[in-house]
A and B are shown apart, each in its own frame.
Chain A
Amino acid sequence: MTDVGRHPRIKLYTLSEVVGIKGYVGNFEVKILKRARYVDEKECTSCGECAKVCPVVRPDEFNLGLSSRKAIYSPFPQAVPAAYVINVNECLGHNPVVCAKCVEACDKKCINFHMSDQEILEEVGSIVVATGLEAYDPRELDEYGYTRFENVLTSLEFERLVNAGGPTRGELIRPKDRKKPRSVGFVQCVGSRSARKGASYCSNICCMNTIKSTLVLKEHDPDLEIKVFYIDIRAFGKGFEDLYARSRRLGVHYLRGLPGTVEETPEGSLRVAVENTATGKLEIHHLDMLVLALGVKPAPSTQRLQEMLGLQLTPDGFFLEAHPKLLPVDAATRGVFYAGCAEGPKDIKESVTQASAAAARAIRLMHRGEITTEPITSEVVAEHCKSCGKCAEVCPYNAITVDVKKKTPAVVNQAACAGCGTCAAECRFGAIIMNHFTDGQITGQIEAMLEENPSEKILTFACNWCSYAGADYAGVSRLQYPSNVRLIRTMCSGRVDEKFIWHGFRKGAPVILVSGCHIGDCHYIDANHWTEKRVARLHKRMEKMGLRPERLQLAWISAAEGVRFAQVMKDMEALRRSVTREEIQETIRILEEAKKG
């Protein structure tokens, strides 16, 4: 940690959050909100004189409220930067009449109430997302009595209690009567592996964390009675089984089954009722203290960052990697990498390993100082352009300029164009060519697909980032769905031109599906808003023409929603069966006539 503080190449912003990200791989512009510390980071020597005189006493977050701190405080002894900080919401204020005692106490005069929040812009070429985890909140699992009984603790509170730097200097005592417990129980899978409350996944670290804790306790006091209530003990890592064996050898009692109820006795001890699933018997255990091994949840900032960077999440809420085996630290967004629990629950060793991998991937991208971009961008055919300005209006990147008044043709800034193709889909004059996804290339695919037995097929447009990836995920998960589905990949659902839909129906398609990223998740900022509008417009037109609008469907399917993809395909097949040959023939007739007219 201290290495980070003094490294000449690392610029550290604490009390800071990323509030905006613009640009693309190689050249991101990042907006950072740095909140005021009210203490000069460089000048503060952490002498602590200020805290001594501060009259405001508050629970210390670092010790999870098991001790107190002042309104001006050091987060913890080894903090980096090693500077005090003022929680301005707790502080009585800098008015000398009110308080300002700390200002007087500080010899170096580094307390400054005139500091204000700052917005900082930084330019970077790549981004590592290491937003970490949040521990599960056990209050909803009330059978364990966390809210009711003081001697039921979370694993994190326990960590602080046995820590030499913690509120008791490492001495284990019960919060209720400050007595030394003679027996301690651990409850595993609190918030993990449950379909009912908490998460259904395994949080990965809690088994080993508990085993570690039992060893720490046995080291302190070999006679302490320790019981661990578990579903399975997962000790699969290098050296882990040894620790588990050592813990059992030292007499820790591992008991298969999670407690059903916990009650408090008049002495403040706990009466734990548990069905031992190894024997099938109900057992009652009396314990002086109970520790809940909390599961791991995604950090609360995950969703905001996901929207800012156009990233994808798994159904569990962690960040989704570009490929689960071959690109485990890359995001699908080029130039973004994951490290640590942001991507899924993991222990310190795995976090460090993944962080080094993310760094190596970022270096691989940046070391040449230049970057090649995919030439999948749009182009304007000047002679067809009517300078209506529609393309500039729909471009999520403001990459198109057109002077509507002077009637000069639109111009695409190739460096800013990300290649969603929305402009090409919205241009009514055929004046925009979307390279690699041209009108001809896509209608050619439609024709090839519908050449034989079109009435049996389901024409599906899928965006590269979400729904096409969702289809791949359905494949990886071996989910079976109707075999008459045919996908056409576009980079974004925004590329799906009205022309393609009419062309499909004219060629005899019974049903058509347009699919893309969920609103808010679009890889091209918000291009799928235009998809939504376009489909609504198509539905109206279809209704006017006497075609059943439901034959054109729109579905948002994320890269992690393989199950949803398979279900949507089954629904589409049910819909297809409702379309008769006569209806298809009639559609073709109506559309041919409309084309002539």
Chain B
Amino acid sequence: MEQSMPLTRRKGEENRPRIGVYVCHCGLNIAQTVDCGKVAGEAALLEDVVVSKDIGYACSEPGQQEIKNDILEQGLDRIVVASCSPRLHEPTFRQMLISAGLNPYLLEMANLREQCSWVHMQEPEAATRKALDLVKMSVSRVRQLEPLEEEVLPLTRRTLVIGGGVAGIQAALDLADNGFDVVLVEKRPSIGGTMAQLDKTFPTMDCSI
């Protein structure tokens, strides 16, 4: 479902945000419980929402391209992606906003998968109502978000490895061989860990040290 307004802004709307809402199906992960078309349709009626669509996989290349095209063609300046947890794909969509020339902090995600469709699988109607609430909350939030600039700080090119067993040894050697300094801390008098105590090791049946 697609609803859009003309790109030319009406009088008095010059400073209004232009919000795009994308309700992701995530294949069937969201769509088999939440009526994504209905959520997108109702979100289209919210204030400042210029584009509202349901979309197969928002994170996929074509999905991102579609949002990007809308940003450029419809002059969108704030984006709501209603899909999975922001803990998963927020970096993906922030990157997409940057490539479309927007500040990455003008993005808000509504968590329709981990916190809606997956936890209310037997209640499609209630889940759809919740999804709409989550989108409404996101639209309200995205409207008030402000562009933020990331700061670049110097970094120490050194790694602390805690533990001198086989994992610590391997990590330390890989880092050091790549030109990074390593501080390796082991609480026992020698490195080697549990591995050093083993006789032969599987699957090669050779000695451990």
Quick one: which of B96-148 are within 8 Å of A by CB? Answer: 105, 111, 113-116, 118-123, 126-127, 129-130, 133-134, 136-137, 139-141, 143-146, 148
Q: Which of A447-455, A542-550, A588-596 contacts B (4 or more CB under 8 A)?
A: A447-455
What does DSSP make chain B's interface, helix, strand, loop or mixed? mixed
Question: With a CB–CB cut-off of 8 A, which chain A residues contact B113?
Answer: 475
Question: With a CB–CB cut-off of 8 A, which chain A residues contact B45?
Answer: none
By the criterion CB–CB under 8 Å, are A162 and B199 in contact?
yes
Q: Which of B2-10, B11-19, B67-75, B186-194 contacts A (4 or more CB under 8 A)?
A: B186-194
Question: With a CB–CB cut-off of 8 A, which chain A residues contact B150?
Answer: 372-375
Shortest CB-to-CB span from A9 to chain B, Å, is 4
Question: With a CB–CB cut-off of 8 A, which chain A residues contact B191?
Answer: 1, 4-5, 12, 14, 80
Of A1, A11, A79, most B-chain CB atoms within 10 Å: A1
Compute how far the CA of A16 lies from the CA of B186 in the bound complex, rounded to whole angstroms: 6
Given contacts A156-B197, A238-B203, is CB(A15)–CB(B182) below 8 Å? no
By the criterion CB–CB under 8 Å, are A18 and B162 in contact?
yes
**Nearest residue, chain B, Cβ from A215:** B205
Quick one: which of A512-550 are within 8 Å of B by CB? Answer: none
By the criterion CB–CB under 8 Å, are B164 and A4 in contact?
yes
Contact of B159 among A126, A156, A374 (CB under 8 A): A126
Using C-beta atoms within 8 Å of the partner chain, give the interface range for chain B: 35 or more
Contact of B158 among A78, A125, A211 (CB under 8 A): A125
Contact of A27 among B119, B134, B153, B167 (CB under 8 A): B153
For the complex, is B176 an interface residue (Cβ under 8 Å from A)?
A: yes
Quick one: which of B75-101 are within 8 Å of A by CB? Answer: 85-88
Shortest CB-to-CB span from A470 to chain B, Å, is 10
Compute how far the CA of A166 lies from the CA of B154 in the bound complex, rounded to whole angstroms: 49
Question: How would residues 353 to 368 of chain A score, 1 for a CB under 8 Å from any chain B CB and 0 otherwise?
Answer: 0111011101101111
Question: With a CB–CB cut-off of 8 A, which chain B residues contact A305?
Answer: 162
Excluding A13-B185, A166-B199, A441-B144, 14 further A-B contacts by CB distance (< 8 Å) are A9-B176, A15-B189, A26-B156, A127-B159, A128-B175, A170-B199, A212-B200, A323-B87, A339-B170, A372-B153, A436-B145, A471-B114, A475-B113, A475-B118
Would you mind naming 28 contact pairs between A and B with Cβ atoms under 8 Å apart?
Answer: A1-B191, A3-B173, A4-B169, A13-B186, A14-B186, A16-B187, A30-B160, A123-B158, A125-B159, A128-B161, A128-B168, A129-B163, A131-B163, A216-B200, A242-B203, A337-B171, A340-B165, A340-B166, A341-B165, A354-B167, A356-B171, A356-B174, A363-B178, A366-B156, A373-B151, A438-B146, A472-B115, A475-B85
